[in-house]
């Protein structure tokens, strides 16, 4: 019995001593490393700030205002050049549904009535020649659009860069629409005469007035001028959107630098 008590006492002392030693180790580790061994450890998964598939924001502040302005102007210049090139050929307007010039809205009734009277070919010819005039005039107007790009100020450039897909085009259109109309209208008028659209439309409206007893008229020059300008801006906006959203369309170093910064907005 005495031996048993001594054995039990020895075991209890051994367990107690071990516990004290373990507590001392835990205390030392906590003091030296800050790690509390009495608390269960948590498994953590390291995450990368540049995870695959995610864009790393680029600080637009790294670009100078001159670089931003140059990049936007270059994008617009490319848009104008390519847009005019596509539109300034036979069927450039006529076969492009996005910019095709239709019969003026207040004369749409003419189209219906002429077809009723078997004169649909005359109506078709009238629309065709409106588009031919635009196709002819837009080539001569290219320098006007290019010159208008310089109206963009450096102050506005940063806001435009961080704007919508067609922010630069919209800005350019707002700032230059009246100026472009004034400069462009004589070229359209000359083109209407060059392709014979003015004569065809005079004949078309005359026949319509005779058949219906009405007296309609329209300023084709103003109408075609506006539609031609709008057509070019649609093409420029399409190109701008492409450059903003498709890195492969950024064909120069300045476009790559500026619009890569825009990607991180």
Dihedral sign for Cα 140, 142, 143, 144, please: positive
Domain residue spans of the chain:
60-263
pLDDT in tens, 125-146: 989 999 999 999 998 888 888 8
Helix (H, G, I), strand (E, B) or coil at 252: coil
Dihedral sign for Cα 223, 225, 230, 235, please: positive
> In whole angstroms, how large is the CA radius of gyration of the chain?
37
Task: Specify the pLDDT at position 261.
Answer: 77
User: Rounded to whole angstroms, how far apart are CA atoms 224 and 203?
Assistant: 18
Q: Which residues of the chain have pLDDT under 50?
A: 2-19, 21-22, 24-25, 28-29, 32-33, 35, 37, 41-58
Task: Specify the pLDDT at position 2.
Answer: 46
How far are the Cα atoms of 178, 179, 211, 233 from residue 185, in angstroms, in the given order?
11, 10, 32, 16
Count Cα neighbours of 226 within 13 Å in the Cβ-side half-sphere: 6
Pick the closest to residue 252 from 51, 16, 73, 64 (CA basis).
73
Task: Specify the pLDDT at position 90.
Answer: 96
Task: Specify the pLDDT at position 27.
Answer: 57
pLDDT in tens, 184-208: 899 999 999 999 998 888 888 888 7
């Amino acid at each position: 019995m005495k031996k048993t008590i001594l054995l039990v006492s020895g075991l209890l002392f051994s367990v107690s001593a071990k516990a004290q030693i373990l507590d001392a180790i835990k205390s030392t580790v906590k003091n030296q490393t800050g790690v509390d061994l009495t608390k269960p450890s948590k498994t953590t998964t390291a995450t990368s700030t540049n995870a695959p598939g995610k864009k790393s924001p680029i600080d637009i502040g790294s670009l100078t205002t001159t670089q931003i302005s140059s990049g936007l102007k270059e994008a617009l210049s490319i848009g104008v050049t390519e847009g005019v090139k596509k539109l300034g050929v036979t069927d450039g307007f006529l076969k492009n549904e996005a910019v095709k010039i239709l019969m003026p809205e207040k004369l749409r009734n003419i189209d219906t009535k002429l077809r009723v009277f078997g004169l649909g070919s005359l109506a078709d010819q009238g629309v065709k020649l409106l588009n031919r005039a635009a196709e002819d005039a837009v080539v001569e107007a290219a320098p006007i659009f290019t010159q208008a790009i310089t109206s963009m100020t450096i102050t506005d450039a940063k806001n435009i860069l961080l704007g919508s897909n067609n922010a630069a085009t919209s800005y350019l259109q707002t700032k230059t629409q009246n100026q472009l109309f004034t400069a462009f209208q004589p070229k359209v008028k000359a083109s209407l005469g060059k392709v014979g659209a003015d004569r065809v439309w005079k004949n078309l409206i005359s026949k319509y007035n005779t058949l219906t007893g009405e007296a309609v008229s329209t300023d084709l020059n103003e109408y075609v001028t506006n539609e031609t300008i709008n057509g070019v801006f649609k093409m420029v906006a399409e190109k701008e959107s492409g450059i903003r959203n498709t890195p492969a369309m950024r064909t120069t170093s300045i476009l790559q630098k500026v619009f890569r910064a825009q990607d991180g907005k």
